[in-house]
Structure formats: C-alpha cells, structure tokens
Amino acid sequence: MTVGIAPRALAIAAFGLTAAYAAPAVADTASEIRALKARLNKLEAQEAEAKRAAKIAAQQQAAAAHAAPAPVGVAVQAPKHWYDRISIRGYTQMRYNGILDSSSYNDTYAYGDRSVGPRQNFFLRRARLIFSGDISDHLYLYTQFDLASSPSGTFSSSASNIGYAAPNFWGFYNQQIGSYNLNAGNFAQMRDAYADISIDDKKEFRFRVGQSKIPYGFTNMQSSQNRLTLDRPDAINTAQKDERDLGIFFYYTPEHMRHLFRDLVKNNLKGTGDYGMFAFGAYNGQGANRVELNKGVHLVARLTYPYVFANGQVVEASVQGYTGRFVPATSGIRPSLGMGTNWAGYIPNQFPWANSKGYNSPFATSSYLPFVNGPGYNNLYNNFNVANYNDTTVNFAAACVNGCNGLKDERVAVTGVIYPQPFGVFAEWNWGQGPSLDPYQFTIKSSKLNGGYVLVTYKYEDKDFGLGTFFPYVQWQQYRGGAKTETNAPVDRVNELEAGIEWQPLPEIELTAAYAHMNRTNLALAPYRQWQGDLLRMQLQWNY
C-alpha cells in the first residue's frame, strides 16, 4: 500500500507547478500551489504512518519468536520461556514373531531382534519418548528414552548350553538344557542426550555434543520410526552397538541441503534427517550407555551428496569410515570347532580336553576364558604350552595386565540411495576388520569382515479408495565377520532374503508384515551354531 506514494506525490506536484507556470492567467497560481502542497503533505503522512505500522508489526513478530524487548507503548505477546519451546513426541512398536520352519529350533536367533527365538509371542520392541526443541537461535536440545529396553539377563530364558564329550572319535556340545528365570524386562534407558550448538545464524555449521547416533551407515542413521525393515542389516549394524555413542561431532550442511534432508523425512521418503553433508567426530567407541574401557577414541568421517533431478527425483551417494580400538567382553566357553556352521561344537579326540587324557588341562572345562590377542594382555604362549597340557602346574591366565588397549576396529562403507518416488533403492556395503573369535574359540583377534545389503521398494498412495500408503519391499543382506559387541565377539555368518510390506492407513498408524528366509549364526550361546529357517513377523506401530 505504501509503495510508490512519494513518487506519485512528486509527480503531481511537478505537474501542478508546470501547469501553473504555463498558464498564469487562467488560474490562481498561489492557491493551486497551496493545494498541491497540502495534498503532498497528506501523502507523505500516509507513507510515514504505513512505515511505522510495518515496523511495529515486524517488532511484534520478532518479540514473539525470540522474546526480544518490545518497543515502548506497543503491546506484544508475552515472551516464551525455554521450556515452552520443548516439544514431546514418540512412537511404540509391538511385534509378533512366528517361526515357520527351523533347522534348529533352539538356535533360532536374530542379531537385531531379541524377540526372535523359541517360545516367543508378543513383544514390545520399542517405546520411545522424545523431548526436543530450539532453546535459542544457537542451541537445540534432543533427548530420547526407550521405555521398553531389555538389558542383558532380563526376561525369562533358559540357562545356557552344557557340553559333553562322546567316547568315540568325535563329540558335540550343543545341548540347550537348563532352568528358566522370571526376570523382568522393559526398563527405561537413555538413547540420545545431546545439544546442537550452531556457530552461525543459518545453522550450517554446528557441533553435536553428547550421546547421539554415529554418522556411519545410512540404515544406522535412519530412525526406526521411518525405516521399512523391522531390523537393520547385520553388516552395518554390527559397526556400532545401538547405533550411538558418547562424543563430539561436527556437521556442515548448506542451508538448502538442510531443507532437503528435512523434506525427505517429512514427505515420507524414508530419509535419515540432517546428519550433515560432511561430518567428522570423535567418540568413546564401546557403544551407547557403556563405560569406556581404554584411553583411545574412535574417529569417524562421512561425506554425502544428495542430487535433485529436474523431475523431482532425489538420489544420494555417500562414503564413510571410522577407526579405533575396541575392547571385547569375554565369558567362559569350551573350545571346539565348527563355529558358525551346523556342526558347531565338534571336538576331535586329538584335542587335549576331549577325554580323560586332558583331565589336568585348563581347557578340560566349559569355562575357559578366550584370550584377547591385543596390546595390554598376557601373551598366550607365555602362560600355556599346549605340549605340556598334562602338567598340573600350568598357570594360565588370559588377563588384562597393561591397560587393555583393545583390538583394531575400522571400517569403510559406500552408500547409494534412490528415494522412493515411487520406485526406490537403498544399498550399502562395508569392508574392514574388527574383533572376532578364532575358529578354535581360543583367542579373540582383529580379523577381516565385509557385507552389506540391497533393498528395493515402491511407494504406492491409494487416492481412489483412501486406503493410505503402501511400501512393498524386498531386501537381501549378507555378512561375514565378527560381532564385536556380543560376548566373545563370535563370527557372524548371515545370508538372508526378506520380503514385506508396510501399510500406513493413517499418519499415526503403521502395520508391517515381513517374511524372511534366514541363514544365521546363534550369537547368544556357545558354540555359536548356524541355523536356517523361515520366519513370519508382524509389527504394529503407533506414532504420537
């Protein structure tokens, strides 16, 4: 309304003066000039009033958004307190697992879902509660709790394997017998607790301090609230327990990329959110909610670039890697052969602990503690000589003596994504080395690993009958390497094909059904047998 008022007033004045000069005999020049001046003063007053009103409106808006002091005499909304800026949201997932077929019912197990196993029915997989918000222009807080966490030793379970040695040439120890407990589960546990500290007004450069997700692997950074598959693939997920750790991370994201990362989640395209176009960080390395066990830190870096085509399709390519040293947990087991196979637990007669010949051997028991072959530990062969296994004076102690520096733990991964508009592909592969139990189950050392996954999906939105959104998908995954976060870091061998569909009848409700043909290692119990089978799983998720 105010644009152009002053130029028009000047034009009118100029025209009037010109007219007065050209025809002094026709009109009263002095009266016309006075009229034009009055008109000009009125227009200028209107323009000044409009500017003042616009300024007051802008100040009111700034006061409401940033609690800035209001101009004297201007009524504005009361400033918000920091706790008024905190939002609360969450989601809950309830599952049902059914074993259709299994080569070894008692060995049925999945790394990403502890509810997969014999005698299991309904299960609360997650019950998340999230508090987040911009406390100021430069500080963002995020805290997440899981009210359905199941720490080790909770829920009813069988005691463990107990072994035996057959009197003939070979023997197996793989019987799962024992008692059951009635321990409780579903405890509250912190998942995230971090602050994003922005060092510029556009929030392109920021530091994330606290416990948060490690910027490694697209599927690890994807929220379980948005991910298609019920579990993350082993090949990427074994890199980091619970995908999180305590550390400091630097993220750089250009402003237009920040909006893109946000929209890929907001528009239901299964994005990760903003973990930076470039990320670099240092973290403990032992996993979320776990005590650090060595002085060293893990270092991680990631570079990703999403590209938007003219038709709106988005593709993203990433490369990432980390390096550090990891301290594995150990517990007593009985050495044997065949780990990660159907005949795991095989004990040849030549082994000194297979019969009475090795009665005095420290291995003639099911509670042998695997030796960690890394800096800071006793040397295995300085403490035990296999040739002298009958010597009752053997003093074997695979103990940590010099600080337990841990074993080398490093990986590099590549990622390629075509976001589902409507056809989508997600693929990742990683290589590296990490803690792994050797085939004899004597020692844990750093060994090579590799694996990844390919997921194909299609997004269908039913606009004819209003049935909602459907995501049918197929995923293949493979992994060969140690599961460093499991006790004794056993070898994990996975080859799995899964087909499923996610149905979103309402934005707040999701129902997923998945069928998987699995070939997996039972990482929970020694001697870590391999099992094959078919599994049908269903999950209901409600968002709030």
What does the pLDDT average to over 337-356? Answer: 74
**Contact criterion met (CB below 8 Å) for 228 and 270:** yes
Per-residue pLDDT tens for 114-149?
788 877 789 999 999 999 999 999 999 999 999 998
Condensed to tens digits (0 to 9), the pLDDT of residues 489-522 reads 999 999 999 999 999 999 999 999 999 999 999 9
Confidence of residue 374 (pLDDT cuts 50, 70, 90): confident
Q: What's the CA gap between 312 and 310, in Å, rounded? A: 5
Say whether 114 sits in a helix, a strand or coil: coil
Residue 84: phi and psi, rounded to 5, are -75, -15
How would you write 5-60 as a 3-class SS string?
Answer: HHHHHHHHHHHHHHHHHHCCCCCCHHHHHHHHHHHHHHHHHHHHHHHHHHHHHHHH
Computed from CA positions of residues 324, 330, 335, 338, in that sequence, does the dihedral angle turn out positive or negative? negative
Reported as a single tens digit per residue, the pLDDT across 232-244 is 999 999 999 899 9
pTM of the model: 0.80
Tokens representing residue 47 in the block: 């323009």
Phi, psi dihedrals of residue 153, rounded to the nearest 5°: 95, -5
d(CA 302, CA 274): 12
485/374 Cα distance (integer angstroms): 17
The amino acid present at 135, given as its one-letter code, is I
Q: Please tell me which residue, 508 or 355, carries the higher pLDDT value.
A: 508
Q: Residue 260: what are its φ and ψ, rounded to 5°?
A: -65, -50
For the stretch 293-308, pLDDT in tens is: 888 899 999 999 999 9
Q: Where does 163-243 show beta strands of DSSP type E?
A: 175-180, 187-198, 205-213
Strand 371-372 versus strand 443-458 pairing type: parallel
Is residue 427 within 8 A of residue 453, CB to CB? The reply is: yes
Class of the 82-330+402-538 domain? mainly beta
Q: If DSSP codes are grouped into helix, strand and coil, which group holds residue 101?
A: strand
Angle in degrees, 0-180, between the axes of helices 29-66 and 5-22, rounded to the nearest 10:
170
Q: Residue 218, Cβ neighbours under 10 Å: how many? A: 23
CA Rg value for the chain: 33
β-pairing, 87-102 with 122-134?
antiparallel
69, 523 contact by CB (below 8 A):
no
Tens digits of residue pLDDT in 78-110: 667 777 889 999 999 999 988 888 877 778 888
62: which 2 tokens?
């700034």
Residue 24 has pLDDT above 50, yes or no: no
238: nearest Cα among 406, 435, 405: 435
User: Cβ-count burial of 529 within 10 angstroms (0-12 exposed, 13-18 middle, 19+ buried)?
Assistant: buried
Provide the token pair at 490: 């056993």
479 torsion bin: left (phi>0), alpha (psi -120 to 50), beta (else): beta
With beta carbons less than 8 A apart as the criterion, state whether 501 and 475 touch. no
Q: Is 272 helix (H, G, I), strand (E, B) or coil?
A: coil
Average pLDDT of the chain? 82
Backbone angles phi, psi at 358, to 5 degrees: -105, 30
The helix or strand, by DSSP H or E, that contains position 128, with its residue range, turns out to be strand 122-134
